[in-house]
Amino acid sequence: MKQYPMQGREKTAVLIVLAANIVLRFIWIALMHPAQEADFQWYYDHAVELASNQGYNWFGQPTAYWPIGWPLFLSLIFRTTGPSVAVGLIVNALLSTLIVWLIYLLTRRLFQSHAYALAAAICYSLLPSQVVWNSVLGSEELFTTLLLISLYLYLRADRTRALSLGVAIAGIALGFAVDVRPIPLAFPLFVFLYELVSGQSGKFTKRLWPAISRAVTLFVSMLISVLPVTIRNRITMHHWVLVSTNGGTNLFQGIHTNGGYWWSYNPYVNPLLNIHNEVHKNAVGEHVAIHYIEHHLGRTIINGFIKIWDLYKDDLNANWYTFRASPHVANWLHPMDAVLTTGYFLFMVPASIGLIYFWARRITGWRQAWLLFAFLFYNTCFFFFFPAWDRFRYPLMPLFAVFAGVGLVSIWKEMQTTQAQ
């Protein structure tokens, strides 16, 4: 796919959008920097320990309960700047701005349209929750940045070759994303299906080998980036743990709740309560959850759709850890909930129109755009079994932004056509 260089006015427009993002996000974190809580405090504490060469431990024992990727990344910065929550917030603000730039690049690469790309970047910039998230030290920004880099590199790879260096590099980037959040581990399977659907050749047999080779290349390259974490886990924990040990616990929690966090201190309800070895806890949680699913398939299916509803129904989580944790503005929590959720639904209107438009009109790049849809579908299906709320939708919003750009421009064009008539 040929890529056309940006012209002077296009560069200026993009720079203005990026500058606005930087200014807005820095003003926001200057005003709103609450005390870190829950996962966010945990990430910070362990980044400080890693920066001080104290290892990655929990209660004095090596851990892999939370993936090491984000605290390790943060610790490398702390080695230069010294430990500071403010530094971490600045890093996330910069990563968030980089996400806006990657949305532009990804959209322009797909559709060969500056208008679509600029509209996509602007739509994402106007999504309120993406700014509010900069108040906490979450792993969302780093994971999403690495995911978008991987998708962009994959789309740039030579599609005429079954074995491509570009696909391998995309896999390495995806592996680094897995080190932050293991969710994409099975995504190469969906890439295989994407290649079968989007391949240019009319014959299925001619598409099969390139689809297999590209998916396998992506998967093997991904494992290269994951391997150091796996080796570290083997050496320190004496078990083969690919990335993290919280999957079984989360799956177990998923049979008790659809949206939000669940934990019980009743040992009759929670068999994980008194297990202190996290590898064993992971195995027990997985076993109990699978046993439940096998014997309650109907209930699991119903709950699965409820979980997906919980994934998409609102946009509140960033507010909870920002305004509730800031006593001087705690009474703003519910009004800001309304602002963020309203902004989210307004954002999803052009995104939904764009999804329909790119499919119905077969616009330039529509085949390649199925890659983004493949990840949207994959990530959504993932939470059919795991507890889901809006925080876990964060990495999907830049992909929806790509289609929001298409939708917004298509709406504008239709309005212009109607006025001309």
Torsion of CA 76, 82, 85, 87, to 10 degrees: -70
Q: What is the pLDDT of residue 362?
A: 78
Q: What is the pLDDT of residue 3?
A: 57
pTM of the shown model: 0.92
Domain boundaries, the chain: 8-140+240-420
CA proximity to 56, closest of 84, 75, 78:
75
The closest of 251, 374, 260, 252 to 314, measured between CA atoms, is: 260
pLDDT at 205: 72
**Segments of the chain scoring below 70 in pLDDT:** 1-6, 160, 162, 199-202, 417-421
What is d(CA 100, CA 111) in angstroms, rounded to the nearest whole number?
Answer: 17
Question: What is the pLDDT at residue 397?
Answer: 97
Q: What is the pLDDT of residue 26?
A: 95
> For residue 48, what are the CA distances in angstroms to 42, 77, 129, 230?
10, 10, 27, 22
**According to the model, what pLDDT value does residue 244 have?**
93
Angle between helices 370-382 and 140-156 in degrees, nearest 10: 140
Identify the pLDDT of residue 6: 63
pLDDT for the residue numbered 273 = 87
Rounded to whole angstroms, how far apart are CA atoms 191 and 167? Answer: 11
